[in-house]
Structure 1
Amino acid sequence: MRADPIQRAIDEDLVRVLYAQDPIAFFSHWFSIAVLVAIYWPNIPSPHLFIACFGFYAAANCGSLALWICNRRYPQLVSPRGWIYLHALRGVLLYSAPGLAVWFAFQSPHSDLPLLHTVLLVTLAAGVFMSNGFDLLNFSTAIPFLLFPSIVLHFGTHTFDRTILAVVLAFFFCAINVYALSYRKLFQRVVQARVDQQYLAESLAAQKRVAEEASLAKTRFFAAASHDLRQPLHAIGLLAASLNDPATTASQHAKTAEHIVYNVEALNQLFNQVLDLARLESGVTQVIRLHFRLSELFERIGSQYRPQAAAKGLALRIAPTSVVVHDDPVLLERVLSNLVSNAVRYTEDGAIWLGFRRSGRLSGGFVEVRDSGIGIPGAEQQRIFEEFYQVANPQRDARQGHGLGLPTVKRLVTMLGGELSLRSAPGRGSVFRFPVQEGDASGIVTSLSESVTSGPSAQGQRVLCIDDEPSILEGLASLLGRWGCEVRGARDEGGALAVLQSGFVPDAVLCDYQLANHRTGAQALTAVRNMLARAGHEGVVTLLITGDMASTELAALALQGIPVLHKPVTPARLRRTLDMLWQQAELDKGRAVVGREGREGLAGGGRRAEPGDTSHDAAGEPQSESQN
């Protein structure tokens, strides 16, 4: 993933180092030209070729300086790799002239000229090693042009001393390449260490920014929460004090009590919204997906918000649909409740529309909530998902909500595996939309439109309750008893195991998370499940109830699919959760039996169907099984 940034950093450093040496090289090559001309001047072999060769050498040296100036003035003209290629081309032109000019030494009658010229070439090769050795391309295009002609010509003389010199030059050529390889590796390690350090610094800076933003967001959150919590508390204190005034009339007392109830409800609503956000942030909220008819969920939302919409003169229109979805109905209802509640609150005229659209998808589709309300400016459309931020409520009037609904919606939709989208414009209303997965009608185990207390699921069920608080045990026993359950209570893990040893086999185990003697509900549930499994009773519904939202163990339990409810738990929430878990357990048990019978039928070569047998087609309708 980081190879390209590192290579680019290496290229950028190569360009800087390569071109930094060019002014020195410019004067070095002019010195080389002067020395060579001085050596050959008394007796110049092939004057025309000599002039052409050293004229080309001088022109290449001037071109090298021009390239350096262009790089300094226009560094963005080409990419770093392009500058490296240009510098390598400059090396080919610049170093081929002195390398090939050694031929003039072998044409001269002076026997010392080949040796003098070779010494100068070795000196230039050392300079190439120092200035270009850290780049393979520039090094390999300069050194061969400098040394190969000399090596070949010395070998070609067939004299002992020249042959030895050729061998020494060849050894020097190999050695300088080996050292250049080590030089390049060291250079790359240095650059990589610098890049790593730069990445670390950038990462630390980014983490610091995130931490500062989180700290600022937390400060804003607590400031807004403190304001919204203090307002009703302050009002309740003043109103309660006014009740002690003996001059207050009965009608004033009733009105004051009504205001106190209103502020208590507002305080409770804010407290629950903050707890919802805390549960979502802690990662302990679970997604329990079921197959259900979306129309039933729409009808629940409609029955809840039609009176509020009608009181404002608004029409709440719900599009009919027969689609079955596979999702968490509880979390999905919370999403729709928040969206429709906002739509009712910020719409003064027109209508609100709730419905399902395919939008070109073959499977599943999108749930949309549309309104004809005030709309949201484009600059505000990201900020509305921040906690306690409200577009049309700068005075923070609690009657218009607290600005926690949309942040909760966004987190819930993300948790359900979708993405919340928004289309809105000032004065033209808003459209909130998110995807849902298509379900299977044959997998429906319960109707969402049934009353919480009317279903038969709880009747006759045996429930074991574990809690170290006697008042909670008494309250659970009373509530579950009214639902027709047979209840046993235990204050700790040992008491629960004693109840099981007495012969009581529960259909569900409700357990508090924090128990006495530093034990947890997770440990108690594990012990209970193990004891039931040894007795041959598996598939018992288990449910943890807790007020803790920051425990890592709770997050781990949620990932394992163990249901967790967070206090305060309403009777309706508890009943719906138990009903769904019991019905899901029955469905799983039925599927296991069908699977076992199918395997037995295959093992026995099939069986003859009896007249009363039925199977289900894809639509969930019973049809008679054909006779074999």
Structure 2
Amino acid sequence: MRADPIQRAIDEDLVRVLYAQDPIAFVSHWFSIVVLVAIYWAHMPSPHLFALCFGFYALANCGGLALWLWKRRHPDAVTPRTWVNLHALRGVLLYLAPGVSIWFAFQSQNTDLPLLHTVMLVTLAAGVFMSNGFDLLNFATAIPFLLLPAIALHFSEHTFDRTILAIVLAFFFCAINVYAVSYRKLFRRVVEARVDQQYLAESLAAQKLVAEEASLAKTRFFAAASHDLRQPLHAIGLLAASLNDGAAAPAQHAKTADHIVRNVEALNQLFNQVLDLARLESGVTQVIRLHFRLAELFERVGNQYRPQAAAKGLALRIAPTSMVAHGDPVLLERVLSNLLSNAVRYTEEGAIWMGLRRSGRRSGGYIEVRDSGIGIPLEEQERIFEEFYQVANPQRDARQGHGLGLPTVRRLVGLMGGELQVRSVPGRGSVFRFPVQAGDPDGIVSSLSDSAVGGASAEGRRVLCIDDDPSILEGLSSLLGRWGCIARGVPDEIQALRAVDEGFLPDAVLCDYQLANHRTGAEALSAVREALRHAGQPKVVTLLITGDMASPELEALAAQGIPVLHKPVTPARLRRTLESLWRQQGASSLQKVAAGNPDAAVPAGRDATVVGGHDYVP
């Protein structure tokens, strides 16, 4: 994955080192030209060829200087690898002349010239090793041209002295190549270490920036949340104190009590919105996909907001659709509720439209919510997804919401695998849309409009409650008793197993997540399910209740599809969850019977999770 960045760094370093020594090399080669011309001056064989060879040498040296000047003035004219290749081409031209020119020494009558020329070539080869040894291409285009002609000519003389010199030159040629290999490996390791260090520094800087941004966002979040939580608490405190005024009329007391109730409702709504965001951030919110009629979901959500829209003189239009969707109806209902709530809040006249658009998709489409409200400026369209940020509420009036709806919507849509899109023009309204998958009509289990609470499925059900808090056990037993259930409360796993041994075979098991003696509700439920299986009661609804928001164990349970409710759990939420789980369990059993497998059991906590992981409020 990182080969290209490392190779580019090597090429960049090669360019710097290769071209940094070119001015010195230019002077050195002119010195070599002067020395060689001087030693051949008295015994110059083939003067025309000699002049041609050393003229070529001089021009190549000047060409090398021109390349250096071009690189200095236009460093970005070509890529680093191209600069390296051009430098290698310059080496071919530059070292060809001195290497081949040793032929003149063997044509001369002066027997000392071959030795003197060879010394000069060895000196140049040593310089090549120092300046070009860390690049294979530049080294390979210089050393062979310098030394191989001399080695071949010395061997061709067939004298003892020349043969020994040829052997020494061959040994020098091999040794310099071996050392160059080690030189290149060392150079590469140094560059890789530098790149790794630079990569680590950049990674740490990026992580530091992310941490600082997260810390700043957390600070802003808590500052805004603190403000919005303190406001109703402050009002409740003042209003509650006014109730002690004995001189106030009963009508005034009733009005004060009504204000207290409304502030408590606002506080509870804000508290639930903050908990929703915390659950989404912690990863414990489950996506439970079902096949359902999209029109039923539209009608269900539309019925909630028609009165509010009518009170403002707005038309709420819902486009008819026959599409069967495959998704999480509970999470989709939350998304649409938040979008419609915003549309009603920020639209003063005109209409609100909700419906499905295919938009060229063969399977599924896009759910859209349109309004003719105030609109959102382009520069604000990303900030509206920040917690507690509101475009048209600088005074932070709680009656206009708290700025948590759209951040929740974006996270929910992302959790379901989609992307929330927004188009808006100030003064002309906004459009929010997100994708939805098409479902299978044969996969529909039940209608979304079925009333889970109004049925009699809780009547006569046996429910085992496990919680180490006596007050919670008492409250659960009383609540379940009013629903017609037969409830039994126990403080721990041991007492739950004892109840099963005594013949109490429950239809549902409610268990707190954090129990005494360092036991968890997941462990207790697993033990109870195993005991019930041996007792002949394999099909039982299980439900975990917890106040924990970010436990890794809860994330694992959510991934397994085990139903989890997060405190505070309202009675309506608890009953709807139980009713839905029981109804889904019964529907699954009927499907298995219809398929010719009447003895098949429904896996607890998996097939029976319709809304169990959602903390759904009807």
TM-score scaled by length of structure 2: 0.94
For residues 505 and 57 of structure 1, do their structure 2 counterparts lie closer, same or farther at Cα, with a shift above 3 Å needed? Answer: same
Q: Give the superposition deviation at 1:244.
A: 2.5
Q: State the identity as a percent.
A: 80
Q: Give the superposition deviation at 1:593.
A: 5.0
Q: Give the superposition deviation at 1:455.
A: 3.0
Matched, 1:289 2:289: yes
Q: Does the Cα contact within 8 Å between 1:452 and 1:572 map onto a contact in 2?
A: no
Q: Does the Cα contact within 8 Å between 2:589 and 2:598 map onto a contact in 1?
A: no
Cα distance in 1, alignment partners of residues 478 and 297 from structure 2: 30
For residues 578 and 440 of structure 1, do their structure 2 counterparts lie closer, same or farther at Cα, with a shift above 3 Å needed? Answer: farther
Cα distance in 2, alignment partners of residues 120 and 534 from structure 1: 96
Cα distance in 1, alignment partners of residues 537 and 192 from structure 2: 61
Range with greater deviation from structure 2 (250-259 or 416-425): 250-259
For residues 152 and 354 of structure 1, do their structure 2 counterparts lie closer, same or farther at Cα, with a shift above 3 Å needed? Answer: same
Q: Give the superposition deviation at 1:595.
A: 5.9
Q: Give the superposition deviation at 1:93.
A: 0.7
Matched, 1:410 2:410: yes
For residues 158 and 523 of structure 1, do their structure 2 counterparts lie closer, same or farther at Cα, with a shift above 3 Å needed? Answer: same
The correspondence of residues 56-71 of structure 1 with structure 2, limited to 5 A, is 56-71=56-71
**Unpaired runs of at least 5, structure 2:** 601-618
State the aligned residue count. 600
The correspondence of residues 220-619 of structure 1 with structure 2, limited to 5 A, is 220-592=220-592, 597=597
Range with greater deviation from structure 2 (320-329 or 126-135): 320-329
Cα distance in 2, alignment partners of residues 439 and 478 from structure 1: 41
For residues 598 and 584 of structure 1, do their structure 2 counterparts lie closer, same or farther at Cα, with a shift above 3 Å needed? Answer: closer
Q: Does the Cα contact within 8 Å between 1:370 and 1:432 map onto a contact in 2?
A: yes
Cα distance in 1, alignment partners of residues 81 and 116 from structure 2: 37
- What secondary structure is seen at the aligned counterpart in 2 of 1:45? coil
- Which amino acid letter does the alignment assign opposite residue 469 of structure 2? E
- Structure 1 stretches of at least 4 aligned residues deviating more than 4 Å after TM superposition: 590-600
- Which amino acid letter does the alignment assign opposite residue 522 of structure 1? A
Q: Give the superposition deviation at 1:29.
A: 0.7
- Which amino acid letter does the alignment assign opposite residue 333 of structure 1? E
- Which amino acid letter does the alignment assign opposite residue 277 of structure 1? L
- Which amino acid letter does the alignment assign opposite residue 94 of structure 1? L
Q: Does the Cα contact within 8 Å between 1:420 and 1:434 map onto a contact in 2?
A: yes
- What secondary structure is seen at the aligned counterpart in 2 of 1:162? helix
Which residue is equivalent to 1:154?
154
Which residue is equivalent to 2:48?
48
For residues 140 and 252 of structure 1, do their structure 2 counterparts lie closer, same or farther at Cα, with a shift above 3 Å needed? Answer: same
Cα distance in 1, alignment partners of residues 593 and 142 from structure 2: 81
Q: Give the superposition deviation at 1:359.
A: 1.7
1:336-383: CA deviation from partner (whole Å, max 9, x where unpaired):
111110010011111111111222222222211111111111111111
Q: Give the superposition deviation at 1:158.
A: 2.4
Cα distance in 2, alignment partners of residues 40 and 298 from structure 1: 100
Which residue is equivalent to 1:114?
114
Q: Does the Cα contact within 8 Å between 1:446 and 1:580 map onto a contact in 2?
A: no
Q: Does the Cα contact within 8 Å between 1:292 and 1:444 map onto a contact in 2?
A: yes
Range with greater deviation from structure 2 (191-200 or 361-370): 361-370
- Which amino acid letter does the alignment assign opposite residue 572 of structure 1? A
Cα distance in 1, alignment partners of residues 264 and 22 from structure 2: 80
Q: Does the Cα contact within 8 Å between 1:445 and 1:583 map onto a contact in 2?
A: no
**Unpaired runs of at least 5, structure 1:** 601-628
Q: Give the superposition deviation at 1:105.
A: 0.6
For residues 593 and 143 of structure 1, do their structure 2 counterparts lie closer, same or farther at Cα, with a shift above 3 Å needed? Answer: farther
Q: Give the superposition deviation at 1:153.
A: 1.4
1:33-86: CA deviation from partner (whole Å, max 9, x where unpaired):
111011101111111111111111111111111211221221111111111011
Which residue is equivalent to 1:194?
194
Q: Does the Cα contact within 8 Å between 1:453 and 1:483 map onto a contact in 2?
A: no
Which residue is equivalent to 2:28?
28
Range with greater deviation from structure 2 (366-375 or 151-160): 151-160
For residues 46 and 594 of structure 1, do their structure 2 counterparts lie closer, same or farther at Cα, with a shift above 3 Å needed? Answer: farther
The correspondence of residues 74-153 of structure 1 with structure 2, limited to 5 A, is 74-153=74-153
Q: Give the superposition deviation at 1:456.
A: 4.4
- Which amino acid letter does the alignment assign opposite residue 507 of structure 2? D
CA RMSD of aligned residues (A): 1.9
- Which amino acid letter does the alignment assign opposite residue 161 of structure 2? D
- What secondary structure is seen at the aligned counterpart in 1 of 2:141? helix
Range with greater deviation from structure 2 (289-298 or 265-274): 289-298
Range with greater deviation from structure 2 (590-599 or 537-546): 590-599
- What secondary structure is seen at the aligned counterpart in 2 of 1:43? coil
Q: Does the Cα contact within 8 Å between 2:43 and 2:110 map onto a contact in 1?
A: no
Q: Give the superposition deviation at 1:268.
A: 1.1
Cα distance in 2, alignment partners of residues 591 and 294 from structure 1: 23
Cα distance in 2, alignment partners of residues 18 and 397 from structure 1: 68
1:395-433: CA deviation from partner (whole Å, max 9, x where unpaired):
111111000111111111111111111111111211111
Q: Give the superposition deviation at 1:591.
A: 5.0
Cα distance in 1, alignment partners of residues 318 and 285 from structure 2: 29
1:583-614: CA deviation from partner (whole Å, max 9, x where unpaired):
333344455556665999xxxxxxxxxxxxxx
Cα distance in 1, alignment partners of residues 48 and 128 from structure 2: 29
- What secondary structure is seen at the aligned counterpart in 2 of 1:432? strand
Range with greater deviation from structure 2 (585-594 or 415-424): 585-594
For residues 449 and 591 of structure 1, do their structure 2 counterparts lie closer, same or farther at Cα, with a shift above 3 Å needed? Answer: closer
Q: Does the Cα contact within 8 Å between 2:592 and 2:598 map onto a contact in 1?
A: no
- Which amino acid letter does the alignment assign opposite residue 36 of structure 2? L
Which residue is equivalent to 1:37?
37
- What secondary structure is seen at the aligned counterpart in 2 of 1:408? helix
Cα distance in 2, alignment partners of residues 486 and 288 from structure 1: 29
